Structure 1
């Protein structure tokens, strides 16, 4: 109640800051460190990725990045997993090679050896996190060196003024380090120490605002409830904090920037060893902490109730361990007692933490002791009211600040949401009150015993990562007390029911809830999943559409057009537009990737297609790494006027990032997988659907059904795959001539349908042959005489290990290792005396085949590595900085090369296809972070659904960037995208047409009978004035929405198919209703084909394109921009 009351009357206090927007000065050199444990290989990889992302989001020559590591506690100084240090050290060296210059990079590793701790009776890092930071400070000051392993250019560590310390799971958003340093550098914030040696004015430590990541908040019901508002908040420049606003100093919680010398001077020698489990608060009160509420870092929230409770138990133990600092005299590092220098405010903070730790225990005793009195019902009611009081208080204070009328709808929605969340919070606290009372009692009593009696285990600690992984063996303390809850609750209920007063219904229900604590813990620890399951027939329909759409890229990628798919094809009259744009090229590349994911391409085919396109792109004329708006695909000359389109460049850049990550992904992919069978089955289904009714004879349909059934299996091992594909290849070889004969002899009026069936039959046969060729190319022991010899050899028990290895499906990146293993096994067997001559020859043949085949596999892997390198180089060669209008921090629509000037128009809306380009320009560092937040975010509503305003109201503006960029649940973009789709549906419902409006070709033609093209949108969500009589439906717009609203999208596409809107290459371009009747525009445009195809891949295959795009380190370092929360107040007029 007190906190919202203070916030009601006090304005948030913002600390002054210097302007370091261009660079961090030399006298402000800062080290960003993560004190952590080396636990596992996966953990090491995560640490290396995390520190790389920190660097990419905060690049500056005066910023260094380091890992401060210990091994976990152990009964011996050295244990088996200690070799993980070598992997970590090698990872740091690789990062420095990638990003450093002249043998010096920004990355460092400082590792300590375990020391024997008699108090903890274990080998461990001295003083855990506090010890690592202490030792690091001493090292930076040149006083001592306690690090056994140091990696990095140590001669470059000089003049470090500040240190930013982060937790392992903390995300440091773009430019957050720069903002913290700029705040620390302001003269009014500089620390001043008094005679007692602690900071009295200024700040030796500044802490940013800490929020919870949207991803971690969605991991469980508990995390979702306790995380509060998640995501970045660009609307609030400063947030209220009671301690900061009232007293000018905040409380330290473990993440922030500190003044190296002032921090050491204020804390050195202050605290006895082996006594401080939680050092954050007590150290913060000695160095004076300022809260920088307009700079935000992002943390994860514990996913399970168990890990949440373990963390709370650890915090409470830490709070009680520093309770001695409430006394007038306190011990120093040598256990000499001296006058406590802490202020009354600092002591109050310690006391307040102790008060919070006994809250549940106090409420429990208040309730239980009342069960044997007449006021049991009253006490139960009071307890519930206390737990729900914060919800009522928050609502009351919210209603005191009623906004202007245009904000009422969003205000009431937000207030109701807060009230509901408050009720749920109180209910969860009530459900676990008994468990928390038991657990907190344990923490308090355990600490007091250890502190006052045993003086052991005061540093007992489990990291957040260990807690999430269930690091401790056996039942944890949290689980033990959970299982005790039913017994305690039942015992209390039994005793109370036998009293004179009996047991009223409300207390009984509360006790029953406590008895159900284990079930409740299980319930809140799981994620709420709204499964958007679809019927198998619907999924197959969408895959059929995907395959038809993919045909466009197969048929029109020709040597005549240098492997570039022409911009569009028109059927009546037949016109092929032999030109291409950067967007077309990018979508063609990503369509190839999606086809590989669907199983329509093998890995060698994917490599060949990607390399052909990139080879062509390298021949094209560019400007500052950007491709021009249009090129002739036959001559490769740019089409006049030469122009650099910002949106086109952004789309191609995103595709190049995706292609690079795909090539790296392929290395980890199995040599052959079930996706190939699914893709082949799609071809079989299309053969069946395309056969005219008269050709569907019983033998043909039976054979097709047999094919489909065989492709539904899950082969295990290379020999099984070889047998299945060989059988399918033989079957399709027999089936194909029959369809060819039918096509030659069938009636002319049916020949068109049969030609379609013949096309897919040939494609089906080709799919099987390509899969089999890939298998035999990379596992040559499966085919020919050698395959037969090995199958005979397999009957010999003593070669079972060899046969197991021959049958194992490796990854593409693991082929070389498999070849090495096979050669070694064969040579070992040849050295054995029992091997008969025939078997020896088979083994020699196997060695010869493997040796000869190494070059083929190397060529394939080298090809993918080469493609990844080219895509990476082309992406980084794109300079976006000259496309920024620096005064307004907005991206221009493009650069006119002929006139040598930037276009005066610019993109200023978030709901725009341009946000991909802006995002990547920020990620590369070409645009400042501010450019993203300069994009307009005005919300509008229609039919009770909110969305972001766009320029034209097209589906393309909202959903094109979502092909690559994730949409985080409950974020501003999630609301905008889902709202736009729903509003389109409602608008088209009022017009009584299928939904899906976007830019498209329409029925109007020019003198050459070529369809014209322009943007069509929903007027109510677009700023541009449009004629409501213009109504053009584009099926690709619905395909793009398949990941947003799969059920309605599928139903809509089925309706379109039933209306005859399907052609050879999927859905036609559009259907024009402007004249009052539907006119089908029988054309296909490559970028619409690509958008629809890639969107279906994301919808059907669990977002593979988004996943690969977000796997890029630059994107990872910037993706927090996409996790923007909805504003509390929205003008929905």
Structure 2
């Protein structure tokens, strides 16, 4: 018989779930209605500028991805203005934190190609070991060797010996928790026809959890010293190579996730986390200062979304670096994803097992300085997000676990976000080909500038005015707000951030065509692999490896970005033959896109660094 306490807990869970569904319905419905209204406005504008009914309908449909992002920014602006600031998650006191730290280890998943990868790995482990402090169980490198056409390669033994030797030297040079390396054997991947580490990073984490729980059914090669030391581990902090935890951040993550209010509770019947969090992610900032073309738009968009998600729904996204709880992970995620199906597994795992944002901890990571490396990274991100689209259609009879409404919206939003440059380019082409003269130029200005300026010129000033008065109006009289240090700091921060983002707008315009080509290729390629071929889904190369493989030279940039240059020339020819009156208004953008590779080349020489700031 079920106890009264259990019944009460289940009733509370049901009520909480119903409340979240209602909030998600209002949230997504508001964004949807605003999206349709703005798309209709785009159709009306097209009609007003002289376009036909067919062109107006097409413009409205193509504008949906763009207007959805503007609608989301508008809804987030309103929510951030009216919602109270979210209180930080509960955390343990110092004594209880030390007890939890004694059951925590740090792991570093990595694919090793050469000796430089070994150097990067050891640098990350040394820095993190120093910054995390003492008391942790161990720092463990989870090592895969590069893909190959056989189970073993002649260079594997040399690299494994080098890693073990460097770890031994680093361990002897400075006191601290032990350091180990766990190597995985390659496994045959029939879908791709290659020997590789099973399921990439996801496989390493899943098998590491099995090792901690005492299982020997893994592809890790035997390391009795490491496996014995890992017995009893409850929490695992994952850190990518070339990232580092700020001092005190590791302990803050442990103190937060180990608090009883945040401990995950798994429903034995459904296998779902009904309260608490399996994952916590810290603030992730860039170690490198921005060059002219360092592409930070995606991270900026995420930051606002993350704040709203945490405030409105009490949970957040997970992007692969942070801390997780072993028991809840094993109970909910061990067999939750099919093989050879997901590249961005971190997102879907965070949705299944609940994740939260810990703003008091921070990871600093490297980001590509060269635009070409950033381009490859964006291509990989887009492919990974498109692989998650089948979860939108998962029903009761599907082999995929069904996601709640909020998470399905997040999957859809991430996928649609990659369509922004392609549909913007398509809208430009429609205007140039169908609208006469100066009207085509006006239409192009709206298409290019409105989505880029909406957040900086309209929504940010609204927040700049609303949030300080919402926070201080009740606790302080209005007259005391004038000249208050809080307001001075707030408006200075808003001004600096707005000016910095406005300065990046020319870069967005310059690279629009190349990003449209890159993301179109990623979306089409990922869609074909997901639906038809089922091959190459786990294709992945680390950003640091891609950066090393890039060759220097302006012609290398032109060869890599040639598709956007050819597209610009083709567009110019078609406009000249179909609607020559619009060519003078299209020419400035087309010329910019033709010289983009040259600008990218010179922007990378030299690298301009600015001081790092957490603000």
- Where on the TM-score scale, by shorter chain, does this alignment land: which range? 0.7 to 0.9
Q: Do the aligned partners of residues 317 and 429 (structure 1) sit closer, same or farther apart at CA in structure 2, a change above 3 Å counting?
A: same
Q: Is 416-425 or 277-286 further displaced after alignment?
A: 416-425
Residue number in structure 1 paired with 2:375: 309
Alignment of 1:446-461 (within 5 A): 446-461=525-540
Q: Is the 8 A contact 2:377 2:543 kept in 1?
A: yes
Q: Do the aligned partners of residues 27 and 107 (structure 1) sit closer, same or farther apart at CA in structure 2, a change above 3 Å counting?
A: closer
Residue number in structure 2 paired with 1:142: 214
Alignment of 1:975-986 (within 5 A): none
Q: Does 1:345 align with 2:406?
A: yes
Q: Do the aligned partners of residues 411 and 970 (structure 1) sit closer, same or farther apart at CA in structure 2, a change above 3 Å counting?
A: farther
Q: Is the 8 A contact 1:7 1:240 kept in 2?
A: no
Residue number in structure 1 paired with 2:182: 110
Q: Larger % of helix: which?
A: 2
Residue number in structure 2 paired with 1:207: 281
Residue number in structure 1 paired with 2:76: 3
Q: Is the 8 A contact 1:110 1:151 kept in 2?
A: no
| Offset at residue 29 of structure 1 (A) | 0.2
Alignment of 1:338-737 (within 5 A): 338=399, 340-374=401-435, 375-383=439-447, 384-392=449-457, 393-400=459-466, 404-405=482-483, 414-470=493-549, 482-500=561-579, 502-527=581-606
CA distance in 2, matches of 1:21, 1:296: 22
Residue number in structure 1 paired with 2:15: none
Q: Does 1:265 align with 2:331?
A: yes
Count residues in correspondence. 517
Larger radius of gyration: 1
Residue number in structure 2 paired with 1:822: none
2:581 counterpart SS class: coil
Aligned equivalent of 1:87, options 143, 162, 168: 162
Residue number in structure 2 paired with 1:55: 129
Q: Do the aligned partners of residues 51 and 154 (structure 1) sit closer, same or farther apart at CA in structure 2, a change above 3 Å counting?
A: same
Q: Is the 8 A contact 1:222 1:524 kept in 2?
A: yes
| Offset at residue 339 of structure 1 (A) | 6.7
Alignment of 1:190-339 (within 5 A): 190-194=263-267, 195-213=269-287, 216-218=288-290, 220-223=291-294, 241-329=307-395, 337-338=398-399
Q: Do the aligned partners of residues 100 and 212 (structure 1) sit closer, same or farther apart at CA in structure 2, a change above 3 Å counting?
A: closer
| Offset at residue 471 of structure 1 (A) | 6.7
CA distance in 2, matches of 1:357, 1:187: 39
CA distance in 1, matches of 2:552, 2:340: 24
CA distance in 1, matches of 2:592, 2:211: 54
Q: Do the aligned partners of residues 399 and 57 (structure 1) sit closer, same or farther apart at CA in structure 2, a change above 3 Å counting?
A: same
| Offset at residue 276 of structure 1 (A) | 1.1
| Offset at residue 100 of structure 1 (A) | 6.2
CA distance in 1, matches of 2:534, 2:556: 21
1:1057-1083 CA-to-partner distances (Å, cap 9, x unmatched) read: xxxxxxxxxxxxxxxxxxxxxxxxxxx
CA distance in 1, matches of 2:488, 2:576: 49
CA distance in 2, matches of 1:187, 1:26: 12
CA distance in 1, matches of 2:495, 2:235: 44
| Offset at residue 431 of structure 1 (A) | 1.3
1:721-769 CA-to-partner distances (Å, cap 9, x unmatched) read: xxxxxxxxxxxxxxxxxxxxxxxxxxxxxxxxxxxxxxxxxxxxxxxxx
CA distance in 2, matches of 1:366, 1:284: 35
Residue number in structure 2 paired with 1:952: none
CA distance in 2, matches of 1:198, 1:260: 14
CA distance in 2, matches of 1:132, 1:343: 27
CA distance in 2, matches of 1:430, 1:486: 14
1:243 counterpart SS class: helix
CA distance in 1, matches of 2:93, 2:491: 39
1:223 counterpart SS class: coil
| Structure 2 gaps, min length 5 | 1-72, 469-480
Q: Do the aligned partners of residues 127 and 113 (structure 1) sit closer, same or farther apart at CA in structure 2, a change above 3 Å counting?
A: same
Alignment of 1:695-1094 (within 5 A): 970-971=610-611
Residue number in structure 1 paired with 2:251: 178
TM-score with structure 2 setting the length:
0.78
1:939-971 CA-to-partner distances (Å, cap 9, x unmatched) read: xxxxxxxxxxxxxxxxxxxxxxxxxxxxxx754
| Offset at residue 452 of structure 1 (A) | 1.6
Q: Is the 8 A contact 2:337 2:400 kept in 1?
A: no
CA distance in 2, matches of 1:459, 1:473: 28
CA distance in 1, matches of 2:93, 2:263: 16
CA distance in 2, matches of 1:247, 1:155: 40
Bigger relative contact order, structure 1 or 2, given CA contacts below 8 A and separation 6+?
2
1:187 counterpart SS class: coil
Aligned equivalent of 2:91, options 17, 21, 31: 17
1:309-350 CA-to-partner distances (Å, cap 9, x unmatched) read: 1111101111111111111338xxxxx934733211111110
Q: Do the aligned partners of residues 110 and 246 (structure 1) sit closer, same or farther apart at CA in structure 2, a change above 3 Å counting?
A: same
| Structure 1 gaps, min length 5 | 230-237, 331-335, 530-968, 972-1122, 1128-1133
| Offset at residue 184 of structure 1 (A) | 0.7
Q: Do the aligned partners of residues 476 and 300 (structure 1) sit closer, same or farther apart at CA in structure 2, a change above 3 Å counting?
A: farther
1:183-227 CA-to-partner distances (Å, cap 9, x unmatched) read: 0111111112233212121101111111112xx115x32238669
1:515-545 CA-to-partner distances (Å, cap 9, x unmatched) read: 222123223334455xxxxxxxxxxxxxxxx
1:534-588 CA-to-partner distances (Å, cap 9, x unmatched) read: xxxxxxxxxxxxxxxxxxxxxxxxxxxxxxxxxxxxxxxxxxxxxxxxxxxxxxx
Q: Is the 8 A contact 1:89 1:151 kept in 2?
A: no
CA distance in 2, matches of 1:474, 1:970: 25
Q: Do the aligned partners of residues 314 and 328 (structure 1) sit closer, same or farther apart at CA in structure 2, a change above 3 Å counting?
A: same
CA distance in 1, matches of 2:243, 2:334: 27
Q: Is the 8 A contact 1:391 1:418 kept in 2?
A: no
1:839-879 CA-to-partner distances (Å, cap 9, x unmatched) read: xxxxxxxxxxxxxxxxxxxxxxxxxxxxxxxxxxxxxxxxx
Residue number in structure 1 paired with 2:38: none
Residue number in structure 2 paired with 1:160: 233
Residue number in structure 1 paired with 2:109: 35
TM-score with structure 1 setting the length:
0.43
Q: Do the aligned partners of residues 151 and 39 (structure 1) sit closer, same or farther apart at CA in structure 2, a change above 3 Å counting?
A: farther
| Offset at residue 473 of structure 1 (A) | 13
CA distance in 2, matches of 1:501, 1:440: 29
1:876-928 CA-to-partner distances (Å, cap 9, x unmatched) read: xxxxxxxxxxxxxxxxxxxxxxxxxxxxxxxxxxxxxxxxxxxxxxxxxxxxx
| Offset at residue 81 of structure 1 (A) | 2.9
1:389-430 CA-to-partner distances (Å, cap 9, x unmatched) read: 221122343244576426577666544433332223332222
CA distance in 2, matches of 1:389, 1:401: 18
CA distance in 2, matches of 1:227, 1:498: 37
Q: Is the 8 A contact 2:100 2:255 kept in 1?
A: no
